[in-house]
A and B are shown apart, each in its own frame.
Chain A
Amino acid sequence: MNTINTRASLEESYNEVKRKVLKLGKMAGEALSKSVWSLKNKDSELAKTVIEMDDSIDSLRYEIENDCLKFIARFQPFGEDLRAVSSCMYMASDLERLGDYGTSISKTAIRLSEEEYIKPLIDIPRMNDVVKVMLDKSLEAFDRRDIDLAKTVFAMDDQVDDLETQILRELVLMMIERSSRIEQGSELFLVARSLERAGDHITNIAERILYISTGEFASASKFRRPIERKFD
């Protein structure tokens, strides 16, 4: 029943799905980076291109989902093949969310483009740099089925969380000082929150990569620092 030819055609179809997931990842990463760049540099034109790109990100996501369903119907996969194809569906959904965050940050960039920033934007681009590295590592780990590389992503999410906390702290102080800063301060805080959520979605992707190879649901928290006890 399972001849060598079936295996080859299964792998060919899977590689096609994988290629699309990697492409979606690249597009989503680009959307995030461009949105942060446009925010930092008040580049509304660039921000608009990110918003326009969102439709193609969405449609690629559904294309992947559809391909996965066809793959399942055609090959009725088991084991690692089944884990991989089901993971592709989840990963596509995580990646599509990154695109949504890019759109939301771009809209903020357009809204704030005529204003003076209440502070120079340093940590938000820094957050995006970390998120970008996490995404690149995840995509590479997915491409090569490299578990060790995927694991390095988990610890990086701590850096993202730290930056978010720092940004929040600064913004709160600034907003307390002057109430006229509240509107912009809240906008910038939501940008930081979007990037923090992006880190979480990328962590999900890294967890999926481990699942594909091992069949076990890894918990990223095992690879991260313990949660501080705040209420002692």
Chain B
Amino acid sequence: MTDIQLKVKDLNLYYGENHVLQDVSLEIFRKKVTALIGPSGCGKSSFLRCLNRMNDFIRGAGVKGLIELEGKNIYSKNTDVISLRRNVGMVFQKPNPFPMSIYDNVAYGPRLHGIRNKEKLDEIVEDSIKGAALWEEVKDKLSSSGLGLSGGQQQRLCIARAIATQPEIVLMDEPTSALDPLATAKIEELIRQLKEDFTVIIVTHNMQQAARISDYTAFFLLGELVECGLTTDIFTSPSDKRTEDYITGRFG
């Protein structure tokens, strides 16, 4: 079943005078992986940050248009932004574990949302670390610092932290660009597993990665969404010439 979980309509984003996204309309399907590709500066990361209102932190950022999560406008006045970000988690390019224990990293979000019960927290931490395919590697050292892990492990810890609040959507902004191929392969495998439970939207510069892991691919160029469709179609027979030029590396 493919049903629409997130609907973006005529989205425009401004950073001050700078018109970063122009009339972007896109639908994101539940429990699918959608990859956002495009050259640097095309607006794909900015687009991603609109989806959990991370752009609110940027001075001068203005959003026009509609973003509906489960039919509700996330930019309406009534939106509880904290709970939105719990629903729409995020993993960044460089692994950024908090300077605290592995356990506390993962328990951070649930504690923030009021869970105090030790047993409940233990359960969430274990489930989340297992969900991030890290459990076997860290189960005996949960109290040691998250910063002591390797880059790939740190990134999976960040994924565990992101899914600990049981979000519906996980946003990933180039999550493997700082990792070696083996750690990358683990994250990619993990993303395939994550879509059993979550919707994943991932920004990647690696087109082979987009082709390997995503169900849908959206191609951005100069702040516009050029084309979005099934990944298998986009990488074999895209319908727009600009997409063809980009995926075949014809762009200068």
Query: Are B235 and A7 in contact, with the CB atoms below 8 A?
Result: no
Question: What residues of chain A lie closer than 8 Å to B236, measured between beta carbons?
Answer: 78-79, 82-83, 215
CB distance from A15 to the nearest CB of B (A): 15
Question: What residues of chain A lie closer than 8 Å to B237, measured between beta carbons?
Answer: 79, 83, 214-216
Interface size class on chain B is 10 to 19
B244 is an interface residue with CB less than 8 A from chain A? yes
**Total contacts A-B at CB 8 Å:** 40
Query: Are B252 and A4 in contact, with the CB atoms below 8 A?
Result: yes
Interface residues of B in 216-242 (CB under 8 A from A): 235-238
Question: A50-91: contact bitstring with B at CB < 8 Å (1 yes, 0 no)?
Answer: 000000000000000000000000001111111100000000
A41 is an interface residue with CB less than 8 A from chain B? no
Query: Are B208 and A79 in contact, with the CB atoms below 8 A?
Result: no
CB distance from A27 to the nearest CB of B (A): 30
- Interchain CA distance A79-B235 in the complex, whole Å: 5
Question: What residues of chain A lie closer than 8 Å to B206, measured between beta carbons?
Answer: 1
A2 is an interface residue with CB less than 8 A from chain B? yes
B71 is an interface residue with CB less than 8 A from chain A? no
Q: Given known contacts A78-B235, A82-B236, is B249 in contact with A7 (CB within 8 Å)?
A: yes
- Interchain CA distance A11-B247 in the complex, whole Å: 14
Interface size on A, residues (CB 8 A): 18
Interface residues of A in 200-232 (CB under 8 A from B): 214-216
A10 is an interface residue with CB less than 8 A from chain B? yes
A6 is an interface residue with CB less than 8 A from chain B? yes
Question: A1-25: contact bitstring with B at CB < 8 Å (1 yes, 0 no)?
Answer: 1111011001000000000000000
Question: What residues of chain A lie closer than 8 Å to B238, measured between beta carbons?
Answer: 79, 215
- Interchain CA distance A216-B236 in the complex, whole Å: 10
- Interchain CA distance A10-B236 in the complex, whole Å: 17
Query: Are B205 and A79 in contact, with the CB atoms below 8 A?
Result: no
B26 is an interface residue with CB less than 8 A from chain A? no
- Interchain CA distance A6-B236 in the complex, whole Å: 19
Residue of B nearest to A215 (CB): B237
CB distance from B196 to the nearest CB of A (A): 27
- Interchain CA distance A68-B134 in the complex, whole Å: 39
B207 is an interface residue with CB less than 8 A from chain A? yes
- Interchain CA distance A134-B207 in the complex, whole Å: 39
Residue of B nearest to A77 (CB): B248
Question: What residues of chain B lie closer than 8 Å to A6, measured between beta carbons?
Answer: 249
B211 is an interface residue with CB less than 8 A from chain A? yes
Query: Are B249 and A2 in contact, with the CB atoms below 8 A?
Result: yes
Residue of B nearest to A217 (CB): B237
Question: B11-26: contact bitstring with A at CB < 8 Å (1 yes, 0 no)?
Answer: 0000000000000000
Extra contacts, 16 of them, besides A7-B248, A78-B211, A215-B236 (Cβ < 8 A), are A1-B206, A3-B249, A6-B249, A10-B249, A76-B208, A78-B207, A78-B236, A78-B247, A79-B235, A79-B237, A79-B247, A80-B244, A82-B235, A83-B236, A215-B238, A216-B237
